[in-house]
A = this chain, B = another copy of it.
Amino acid sequence: MKRAYPKQPIVGVGGVVIRGSCVLLVRRGTAPSRGEWSIPGGMLKLGENLTDGIRREVKEETGLRVRPMESIAVVDRIQKNGRRVKYHYVLIDYVCLPAAGRLRPASDVLDARWVERSELPRYKLRPETAAVIADAFEWVKKHERPPASRRRLATVPATDSKDPC
């Protein structure tokens, strides 16, 4: 599927993965956002539902398994080159909780890390990305502590000593 000059809008999915006061960020390795910090995510595949797409993308890019909880944002991203549409994404973001795995930057990304909320301004996020991260922190704060059966899944083992969060 062509990303640039597509024939129809492309569905992108993103995971806003929250752990305590930290969020999972990746540094994009491909156009149109190469070098930018953002949340993990990518293109939804044919036949794949949204939550499966988010789980797959976050796993591929960061090594972590996550639980998508609820969609919290839908964003248009349209970029034109003159009159032609160069990029057209409809991005659907879910707030996610970490489930398992070890942080390991992987395909399509230059880096991946947990970032403490107060450090976010240094990452020069797009305004809409910063807004959706703020909403995700609110979502997590508002929702009750998960039942015991889910608590185990929602806890990431502290295996990465370089992780500041």
Contact = CB atoms under 8 A, between A and B. Distances in A.
Interface of A: 1, 6-11, 44-50, 71, 74, 76, 78, 80, 85, 88, 90, 92
B90 A11 contact: yes
Contacts of A71: 74
Nearest to A74: B71
A49 B74 contact: no
B9 A46 contact: yes
B1 A47 contact: no
A46 B11 contact: no
Contacts of A47: 78, 80, 85, 88
A71 B70 CA distance: 13
B46 A74 contact: no
A8 B46 CA distance: 5
A7 B1 contact: yes
Of A7, A74, A80, the most chain B CB neighbours within 10 A belong to A74
Nearest to A76: B49
Nearest to A44: B9
